[in-house]
Every structure is written in structure tokens, then in C-alpha cells.
Amino acid sequence: MSSDRDVLLSMGFEAARVDWALKATGGRGLQPSMDFILENEGKPVPDLSSVSSSGASGAAPSGGAVPMNEDDQEELDALAAVYGKGGAEGSSAAAEQEAKSIRCSECGKIFKNTALANFHAEKSGHDQFEESTEEVKPLTEEEKRQKLAELREKMAAKRSVKAKEEARENLANEAIRRKAGKDINELREEIQAKEMVREAEKKRKEKLDDAKARAAVKAQIEADKRARAEKAAREKALREGKPVPGSSAPAPAAAAAPSAPKPAGKDYPETRLQIRLASGGQPYTTTLPSEATLREVAEFVAGQTLSVDVETVSFSLTFPRKTFARSDFSKTLKELGLTPSAVLIAS
């Protein structure tokens, strides 16, 4: 064990750390002691009285040193051949050969420890490193200030590049946002235009329906006025014993023969109509001049309900059964034989 300690000391390891390694490994050989020192590099050396020897069970009862095996002896011989056998000369040779830094074989940079070398490998992608006896000298205050200034300049340059990239990205995003907003506005305007067209069409139809309704009401009012005037004229003529307007027969003769057949339709100035819808519902009644055409009847019905269209409606009689053609719409009620009254079916 004393030989192992001398070799480890000649390699530049601290005496306290060497004693800690030898006691912790229980004198199992040079290689375990070196492995222990490398694994615990950077850790403080504890009190050796509290460190238990892992090889105590295999130690001799007298407390003597554990004899080295053949492998340990071979390692010791190899190290002795390289470093020499103790003494100041061996210690100085080991010190000269001690690795004090790590060099990158690709770029030649020197790093103080493994952590810095690993950091360099991650950043640069270099993977070829070797041990170097060149010692990394600590930086002076001036070098520290210069290094700090360089780092600050690099950080400022990176921030500037990043700011420019962010500005370009913001401009691109703004252009995309404006284009999207423009497309949405165009779509909204198109929808509004279509809505305005539909609204205008709806208002036009409402105005047309109102005009038809007003025309039908006006025609009904005029027909009622004429009917009342003619009725009043007939009643006055009967009271005064004068001939009834529109009739060639004297009033007494007409009164004396109530059972006589009705005069021909052409002798009646007006016609009373009852129009029933084929779809059902309340019938419509009106009085129109006998000279009115069947189309005027269609206009009257269209003014009463939106379900009837002047251009598509058709009329028919139940008794005698008859359906009027479109060519009959230009004929008068008198010509169609609907005077003095008739019941029409509108469909």
C-alpha cells in the first residue's frame, strides 16, 4: 500500500486525497484508488477517522497491509517504468507529465475542465479532444474586463439580430392580418349588398300588393256607389210610377206579373257575384257592372287574398258545369251570361 501511495503522490495527487482513497478502497490496488480519486474529484476530503475501509473483512487479523495481486503488481511496474521509483526525480517527472487541461484537436482551444470541454462540444459539434499539459492561466483583471466587454458585444449583436427578425415577422404577420381583414370586409359588404337587394325586392312586392289591394278596394267602393245610386234611382222611379232606368217595360206591368220569367242578362246594368275559393274559406261577394270583364273579377279576388294571382287564376261554374278559358277573361259578364247574379269557383 505504501508503494501505491508513493506512485499516486508522484502523479501529483494530494496526500490527504490519496490517504482517503487508500482507506476507502481498503488497499485493493492502485487502479481502484485512482478510480476513487477521479470519481470524487472536487469533493472535500472528510475526516479519515470516519471513513470505513471497504476491504476490512479481507484484511489480516494483525492489521497488516493487504498483499497486492498480480494485476496490481503489473500496473505498479508499468507506472514505475514511466514515472520512476519515487524520490524527487520521480515526482518532478510525474508533475511534468500531469494533464492540466483538455485540448480540442479540431480547433486547438484549451479548456480547464471537462465541463467546459463538453459545453464547447455541444456548441461547436467538435468531438475530438485530448489531454494537455498546458495549464490554463487565470485571467487578469484587465483580461476579465475585456472578456466581459466582448461577451456584452456578442449579446448586443444577438439581440439586434433577434430584434430585426422579430420586426420582419411582425411585418409579415401584419400583412397577413390586413389581408384577412380586407377579405372579411369584402365578404361582409357582399352579404350586405345581397341583403339590401332582398330587402328592396321584398318592399317592391309589398308595395305592389298594397297597390293591388287599394285598387280592389277602390273598385269595390265605386261598384257599391253605383249600386246604391242605381238602387235609389229604381226605388224613386217605382215610388213616382216612372219607368225603371235601364228597363223598357213599364213598372206597373212588371209589378203585376211577378211570376213572369226574368229578363235577359243584357237588360241588367249590374251583376252580383259570389266567388268561392277552391281551397276553401270564406266566400267573397261583390257587385260589378254587367259590362265589367272577367279579368276585373280576377283582379278583385287577387286584391282580397295573396293566394290568387290574376295571371294564373281560373273560374268555373257548378251549375251548369262550365270552366272559363283564358280567352273569356276579355269578355263581359253580360256576354258570359253571368247576369244578374252568379256563383264562381276560383282555383
Is residue 196 situated within a structural domain? Answer: no
pLDDT, tens digit (0-9, with 9 covering 90-100), for 292-337: 999 999 999 988 888 888 889 999 998 788 899 989 999 999 899 8
The strand order across the sheet containing 129-132 reads 110-111, 101-104, 129-132
Angle of helix 87-97 versus helix 2-10 axis, rounded to 10: 50
Instruction: Quote the domain boundaries for residue 336.
Output: 270-346
Cβ pair 110, 136 in contact under 8 A: yes
Structural domains of the chain, count: 3
Q: Are 24 and 1 in contact (CB under 8 A)?
A: no
Residue 148 lies in a domain: no
Given a contact cutoff of 8 angstroms between Cβ atoms, the answer to whether 99 and 132 are in contact is yes
Q: Are 259 and 267 in contact (CB under 8 A)?
A: no
- In a domain? residue 255: no
The answer to whether residue 133 is domain-embedded is yes
- Give the predicted TM-score (pTM) of the model: 0.27
- Over residues 126-171, the pLDDT tens digits come to 989 988 888 777 778 888 888 888 888 998 999 999 999 999 999 9
Q: Does residue 250 carry a pLDDT above 80?
A: no
Residue at 106 is within a domain: yes
Instruction: Report the first-to-last Cα separation within the chain, whole angstroms.
Output: 127
* Distance of alpha carbon 162 from alpha carbon 152, whole angstroms: 15
Q: Is 104 in contact with 116 (CB distance < 8 Å)? A: no
Residue 242 lies in a domain: no
Q: Which CATH number covers residue 341?
A: 3.10.20.90
Q: Does 86 reside within a domain?
A: no
Please check whether residue 80 is in contact with residue 7, taking contact to mean a CB–CB distance below 8 angstroms.
Answer: yes
Nearest to 11 by CA among 74, 63, 79: 79
Specify if 320 maps to a domain.
Answer: yes
